[in-house]
Amino acid sequence: MTLLFIHSGYGEELKCPFQISDGNVVKSSSNAYITGFSFQTKPIIGSDVLGIPYPVGKTVKLKIISAEHVEYPDLGSHWEVNLENGSGTNLNDSIRPHLQRDYISSVAVMWPVPPHGAKVIKVVSTDLPPNVFAETTRVAIDLDNDKKADALLVEFACENRHVNPRKTATDYTCGETWQKVNGKWLLCNSFAED
């Protein structure tokens, strides 16, 4: 799989207040871990991230224990982040009971932690940015308890934005993260993978 970052709204101006990445929860016999995600800008070691499991589970705060700057010709520049494991947190309690196998539960990882927390909500098609569709929205997140989406993880077939690549085979998958800032949707990050 090749992942290519096409656009990033993070950087000098930091237009998007939160970095959001899609990761996985892996469980062992006694613990659960969040893995498989990265950020576009350097996170602060020792600060918290918010793990938002979807479609089920409660949010959990975990500390960043390390971050490594990685630059690949096809991937671009990003920070691979390591988090503390889930022992002593509610990660085990909130996610492990829902996992049927040894891994694979999706989790949105946000940094910094939103001041009002976050909650996964059902996406409403009238509350989406232009050219974003409910059928390709992986997760909609409410950050201010108004029951409306403030952040989105979107995944679609590169050749057709209406096609969900998790339901229909496609050669290339594209994705985007969006955040609502001052009432307007901003594209924060986009990528393509094969």
* C-beta atoms surrounding 114 within 10 Å: 19
Q: For residue 44, is pLDDT > 50?
A: yes
Judged against a pLDDT cut of 70, whether residue 11 lies above it is answered with no
Confidence band for 38, pLDDT divided at 50, 70 and 90: confident
Residues 6 or more apart in contact with residue 17 via CB below 8 angstroms: 179, 181
pLDDT for position 14? 46
- The domain locations on the chain are 3-193
87-123 pLDDT tens trace: 555 555 555 555 555 444 678 899 999 998 899 899 9
Give per-residue pLDDT as tens, 140-192: 999 999 999 999 999 999 999 999 888 888 888 898 999 999 899 999 888 87
**Taking a C-beta distance cutoff of 8 angstroms, is the pair 123, 136 a contact?**
no
Tell me the pLDDT of the chain averaged across its residues.
Answer: 80
Q: Tens digit of pLDDT for each residue in 62-72?
A: 889 999 998 87
How would you class 95 by CB atoms within 10 Å of its CB: exposed for 0-12, middle for 13-18, buried for 19 or more? buried
